[in-house]
Each structure stands twice: as C-alpha cells, then as structure tokens.
C-alpha cells in the first residue's frame, strides 16, 4: 500500500499538467467556435455577431487567447485567474437568469466547472510540463 501512495504522490504534478492541457484545449475549442465557427458547434447562432460588439466576441477572444496560453502553460496563474472570472461572469450573466438556480437546469454546468477548475489552476500552478516551468516562473 505504501508503494501505491508514493506512486500517486509522484504522479500528481504530471496529472496537474495533463488536467491543465486538457481543460485548456477544450476551452480553446469554445473560443475557436465563437470567433471562427470552427469546428461548427453550438455557437453558430452568433454567426452575425460583430467581434467586439457582443459578449460572445469578447468571450471568444478570452477563450481562444487564454486557452492557448494555458495550453502551453505560459503566464498560467494570472491567465487561469482571469478565465475563472470570465466563467463566473458567464454563469451569472447568461445561465443564472434563466430562472433556475441549479446549473443542471440552466445549462451552466460547464461555466461552473471551468470557473472552479481555473481557480484551482491559478493557485496550484501549471505543473511541470509548462513554459512557465522552463522560464523558472511556475
């Protein structure tokens, strides 16, 4: 049993990097969809939105840019904190007003999950597989 505990403790930093990379990739895909309509997901309804005139345009910039930085682990802590705030804002401005307090009923599960995941990453750091670590800033 002791060997199993040491394995998981040793693997934890690398799993943190994997968590950051996977979450950033998924988040980046949301930004790609909002900005460039790739790969053609559920955000097609904002196709006529101007880039800087509506919240989806700004959200797309944050999601694409922030997701890209987080994917490679560059400025991971401040970027994760900003993205956490974006997701809190998205939940309370888009999902919460749907007259349901529960995220499952108002479609806000992703926003809540990303919010707290990014908040955790802002304190835990990017993990060993990151540009921040290479720069000595992790």
Query: What are the structure tokens assigned to 18, written together?
Result: 């994997």
Q: What is the pLDDT of residues 1-17, one digit of tens each?
A: 556 778 888 999 999 99
C-alpha atoms less than 13 angstroms from C-alpha of 20 in its C-beta half-sphere: 34
Percent above pLDDT 90 for the chain: 61
pLDDT at residue 49, rounded to an integer: 43
Q: How far apart are CA 61 and CA 19, in angstroms?
A: 22
pTM: 0.85
**How many domains does the chain contain in total?**
1
CB atoms within 10 A of CB 3: 6
Burial readout 82-112 (b: 16 or more C-beta within 10 A, e: otherwise)? bbbebbbebbeebbeeeeeeebeebebebbb
Q: 62-111, pLDDT tens digit by residue?
A: 999 999 999 999 999 999 999 999 999 999 988 888 878 889 899 899 99
Count the Cβ atoms, other than its own, within 10 Å of residue 51.
Answer: 12
| Parent domain of 7 | 2-134
């Amino acid at each position: 049993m002791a060997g199993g505990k040491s394995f998981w403790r040793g693997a934890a930093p690398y799993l943190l990097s994997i968590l950051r990379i996977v979450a950033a990739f998924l988040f980046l895909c949301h930004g790609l969809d909002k900005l460039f309509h790739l790969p053609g997901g559920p955000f097609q309804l904002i196709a006529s939105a101007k880039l800087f005139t509506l919240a989806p345009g700004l959200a797309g910039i944050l999601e694409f840019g922030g997701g890209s930085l987080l994917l490679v682990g560059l400025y991971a802590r401040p970027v994760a904190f900003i993205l956490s705030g974006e997701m809190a804002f998205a939940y309370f401005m888009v999902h919460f007003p749907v007259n349901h307090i529960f995220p499952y009923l108002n479609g806000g599960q992703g926003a809540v999950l990303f919010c707290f995941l990014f908040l955790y990453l802002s304190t835990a750091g990017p993990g060993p597989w990151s540009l921040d670590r290479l720069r000595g800033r992790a």
